[in-house]
Structures are given as C-alpha cells and as structure tokens.
Chains A and B, each alone.
Chain A
Amino acid sequence: MLDRVVSQSQLLALVDELALSRRIVGPVRRSDRHFYGPVDRADKLDLDFKYCVYSPKAALFPADQTLFEFQTGPDGFQTSPVYDESPLALVGVHPCDINAIRLLDRVFSNTNIDEHYLSRRRQTFIVGIDCPTPCTSGVFCRDMKANEAREGADIMCSPLPPNGVSDDVRYGVVFGTDAGREFVLYSHAGDPPTVDDERASERYISDKARAFPQSIPYDVDALPELLERSYDSLLWEATARRCYSCGSCNLSCPTCYCFNTYDRLEMTLTSGTRQREWDGCQLRSFAVVAGDHNFRAKAAARLRHRIYRKAKWVKEREGVAGCVGCARCDRACTAKISSVEIYNQLAEEV
C-alpha cells in the first residue's frame, strides 16, 4: 500500500526543503560514474543513477573520524569527546545500502554503544529510492534478501511505470517512520495514491520480483550451513593465491565496520586527537597483536574469514547477514576475485 505519490520534480522540491535544515548527501555524477556526495541544491543530484561506486556509509561512519580531543598540562591529562550532531539527509539510497545501514545500526548499538556513530545516525533522514531492476550485472542482492527495504528509510520511493499522462518520473512513496510521514504530509507534496496508482504499484512489485535473477544456489538463510561444511575447502588457498591483500573489498563494503585507532599530535606535542580510520580484515597487519604475532598471517585464512563474516558469523550474531549483495567487493577486487563465484564453487563442492 502506498502512502503518497510524488513526481520527480516534487521529490526534488522536497529535498530542497530538507536542505534548508540539513546537509544533503546524494548521488552525483563524477568521472562518468555516480558517487554519494554533498550537494547544496537538489538539482545537483542525479536521481536517475544506476548505482553509486561507494555506499553512503562514509556519511555515517567516516573513513577518518575524530573520537576525542586530548591535552596534557598542569591539570593533568584531559579528554573531551567529539560528536557530529549536524542534521543530515541521505537521498537516493538503494535497498542494499538501506539494509547495510540497518546492520550498522545494530552493530553500533548492541554490545558497545557507539555514540560517535549513533549521534550522527539519530540526526539522519533517509530518502530511499527502490530499484525496479538490478543496477548492474554481478549483483546478488536478491540472494541476500536485501533488494527490498521495508524498514530503514524515513521515506521509500519506488519509480512507478509511466501512466501516459506525464513524462515526469512518478514515485510511489511509503512512509518508513513518523518523521517521514510528518515531513511529506506537512509539505503537502504530491497526491494521495489513486486506485490506478495502487495497481501500478502492485505491477511494479510483481515485475521487480521477476527482474532479479538468482545468482547463488543457496539463499542467505542456507549460507551459514554451507560455510559450516567448507572450512577446510581447498578453495580458500586456491583463490587467495591471487589476493593482493589490498583491502579494497573491505573498504568498499557498505557493511564492513572495522576500524583502527591512532593518535594525531599537534606540533606542540601537548595536545591532539584520537582518530579512528577504516580498517579491513584482508589487510596483512589487521590481525597483528602484541609481540608482532599475526593470528591470520595467510591470505587464505583472511579470505575465509571475510566470507565467514559476511555470510555466517554476523548473521548468527545479529540476525541479519553481514552482506547485502551489492557486489562492490567483487567490482573493487584488483585480482578479480568474486564472492558470488566463491559461494557457487563451495555449493558445488558439498
């Protein structure tokens, strides 16, 4: 059931309204690709994008973020935490990335409450845009049950088939939160859905169900068991021999949340900041501990660890898979290692 129908120009006007009180981050065109980037006006967005090279994760969990400031002086060692609470709107977020944000929400709020993430997240309004077809070849979002996002966005917009009346793209809008409902209704944008709109929406949903191919013979619920039986597979060694351990898969992943901390000192040497930066389990030094011992020194062990995290361990702990099937890891891999291929090869082995 739709809550509202808006045209693309009405949606852009809504974004301009959001921009009065929020920073806007959405799809912009750069070097022949799309990236999530900051804009000050909605007409700088390109809502007809297929996919963005990187996910909007960096807006919530920056690649390099200040956690606290510290200083030493006559009063001893003092720290003060740094939180970014400036209101933000993420616009044009696809279901895969919305599901990824939902996972980050869980991870950063369960055992260790991460106020640096949550303070930003609480101030974030999400305008989701649904995908009628796979954004590009190689994605396996359907297999990960992440090509739909019924929760996570404040408003979710699905592009409806043309109705023959207007050339403007029309979106069926579903309110995901009270904030989303209030925002759209108070601005009086768009119209209540007609019976025809509801029919168009139903057709959209059934067309979409057929448009996404199955890429893996086991769906996300069966992957933990598949992996359970694949720990000693020869595949890990055979595939990882090509791995550069460059971490591109990790750092382009919308659900990877590992980070490293370090201190940045001012030249005075008496004050500075504690920073955290994105880290990745495929990097050789990721698992180095005191005494220089590396408990995952081999690329094969690291590759297995990543796949287990994505499709088994995170799911067992958080209830949802650590992968949304966006295939950014596969596209980013400088050695052309494909996680879809890994799942398929493992499925053949067992």
Chain B
Amino acid sequence: MKPRIAIFSLTSCEGCSLAILELEDCLLDILGAVEIVNFREGMTERSWDIDIGFVDGAVSTPEDMKEIEHFRECSKVLVAIGACATHGGLNTLKNYQDESDYRKYVYGDQAARFPTIPAQPLSGVVDVDYQLPGCPMVKEEFLEFVKVVLTGRTWHLPEDPVCVECKRNGTLCLYEKGIMCLGPVTRAGCNAICPSYGAKCEGCRGVVHDEALKAAGINLREQYDVDLQDVLADLRMFGAYQEKTLP
C-alpha cells in the first residue's frame, strides 16, 4: 500500500507547499510511490485518513491552534516543513512588537475581524515527529526525507553548520570580507545557497547547537567589533533564536 500523504498550510506564504510542486522533474516519480490525499495548493479532493502529514506555516491564530490539533489527530506521522513550522519563522517578528500596533498596521480598521496570538512553531502546540527547516524548506532535503521514509531508514538532519557546505563548495568565507554571517551557528542542509551568492546566512534553518551559540556570544563580545543587537536581529528574523540576549 502506498503511504497516504497530506500537505497542510497554517499562517505562512505557503512557499514550502509550492516548493513541493516545484519538484516537477520528479513529481511523477513521487506520485508513483505515494498517494497524495489532501493538498490545498495542489488538488481539490480531501481525505482525512493520513499516514504522513506535512505542515507549513506557524501557529499564529486561534484558528491555526484548532487546525494543527486536527492535523495531528489525523496524521500517523507529522512533519513540520519550513522555518514557520519548525521555528515560527518570520511570523515571530510580531512577538517583539506591541499587539495593538501590529494589528492596526496590518489590518487597519478591520483588526477586530482577525484574532491573533503570539506566533509559535508547531512543536509549541503538538508533538512533531520530524522537522525540515529552512525558508523555504530545501526541496532536495524534502525528497531525501521521502526516500528515507519509503525505504524504512532513519532520518537525520545535518548536524553540521553551514560553514561546512561553503568550504565544500569552495565559497569565499564572508568573514574574510568582514561580514557577520550566521553560517557558524546555523544548521547546514541548504548547500550554503546564500553565501554562494555573496549574501550572509540569516539562520533560516535554525541554530545548529547551543554550544555554537555560546561561542558566538563570546566571539561577538571579545573578537569582533559589532553591535550585538544587529546580530540578535538577524538571529530573530526566521525565529531561529528568540531570547533577548546572546548567551
């Protein structure tokens, strides 16, 4: 029996759902191996008998709360895809602002129609079996995950930081140009795509491990002449790190 797959979206741009459709080169192969039974962005039919439920988006409204609990109940395995689902993502930026302010500048005089709660990742509300981080999630990693599940092997996220991929790619380290890149503290798996185009890593795949973050705190205070608030702002952008100060 083919595994029955569903793809759901909470508060997000649904770019990670779109990334699945962008796998057009192997979409037919995937469809040969699995049965997609619920996918708002890709089909109209709906079923709630689900083996693996993929969810993009953060829990950011009371409606999201209800939906994620329903998705969890219906899915034997629940997978968070993309930074919003794994870390809260860009949605968490509102968590640092005054609620009445952002409600007003986003919804204007209609704010009362749109209830909102502090944004959080899926894991803040329900048990999540697997996480595929990134903004957007990495299509190739999604494919690898599907293959691992289909062959009954164990899934591991990369435990290395982005620097490893820059070195394997032969990319010039942005620190050599004096740019505070978040590569040393961010989980690899994106093939270091931003630095390969000369842009600093902004941590969309989350912090690789606490030790790296601790080293960052020490280095940024002792070795680099930088404004810690700027680095914190970068770390918060995709919800990778939400504390007020570096360790």
Interface size, chain B (Cβ < 8 Å): 34
Which residue of chain B is the closest to A64 with respect to CB atoms? B168
Q: Is the interface of B mostly helix, strand, loop or mixed?
A: helix
> Which stretch of A5-13, A161-169, A240-248 is in the interface?
A240-248
User: Does B185 reach chain A (CB closer than 8 Å)?
Assistant: yes
* Contact A278-B167, Cβ < 8 Å, known A245-B212, A336-B223: yes
Cβ contacts under 8 Å, A30 to chain B: 172
User: Does A335 reach chain B (CB closer than 8 Å)?
Assistant: yes
User: Does B170 reach chain A (CB closer than 8 Å)?
Assistant: yes
Whether the pair A269, B161 counts as a contact (CB closer than 8 A) is no
Which residue of chain B is the closest to A336 with respect to CB atoms? B223
User: Does B150 reach chain A (CB closer than 8 Å)?
Assistant: yes
Within 8 A of B (CB), among A250-292: 251-252, 265, 267-269, 277-278, 280, 283-285
Whether the pair A242, B33 counts as a contact (CB closer than 8 A) is no
User: Does B141 reach chain A (CB closer than 8 Å)?
Assistant: no
> What distance in Å separates the Cβ of A299 from its nearest Cβ neighbour in chain B?
7
Cβ contacts under 8 Å, B29 to chain A: 267-268
Q: Hey, what's the 0/1 contact readout for A34-67 against B, CB within 8 Å counting as 1?
A: 0100000000000000000110001000011000
User: Does B164 reach chain A (CB closer than 8 Å)?
Assistant: yes
User: Does A139 reach chain B (CB closer than 8 Å)?
Assistant: no
User: Does B19 reach chain A (CB closer than 8 Å)?
Assistant: no
Cβ contacts under 8 Å, A89 to chain B: none
**Which of B30, B159, B176, B183 meets A284, CB within 8 Å?**
B159
**Which of B33, B167, B183 meets A251, CB within 8 Å?**
B167
User: Does B100 reach chain A (CB closer than 8 Å)?
Assistant: no
**Which of B30, B143, B172, B211 meets A33, CB within 8 Å?**
B172
User: Does B42 reach chain A (CB closer than 8 Å)?
Assistant: no
Which bucket holds chain A's interface residue count? 35 or more
Cβ contacts under 8 Å, B167 to chain A: 54, 63, 247-248, 251-252, 278, 332
User: Does B155 reach chain A (CB closer than 8 Å)?
Assistant: no
* Contact A277-B168, Cβ < 8 Å, known A246-B184, A246-B212, A267-B29: yes
User: Does A112 reach chain B (CB closer than 8 Å)?
Assistant: no
CA distance A63 to B215 in the complex (A): 27
User: Does B198 reach chain A (CB closer than 8 Å)?
Assistant: yes
Cβ contacts under 8 Å, B176 to chain A: 33, 53, 331
Which residues of B come within 8 Å of A, CB atoms?
26, 29-30, 33, 143, 147, 150-151, 159-161, 163-164, 167-170, 172-173, 175-176, 183-185, 198, 209, 211-212, 215-216, 218-219, 222-223
Which residues of A come within 8 Å of B, CB atoms?
30-31, 33, 35, 53-54, 58, 63-64, 241-248, 251-252, 265, 267-269, 277-278, 280, 283-285, 299, 331-332, 334-336
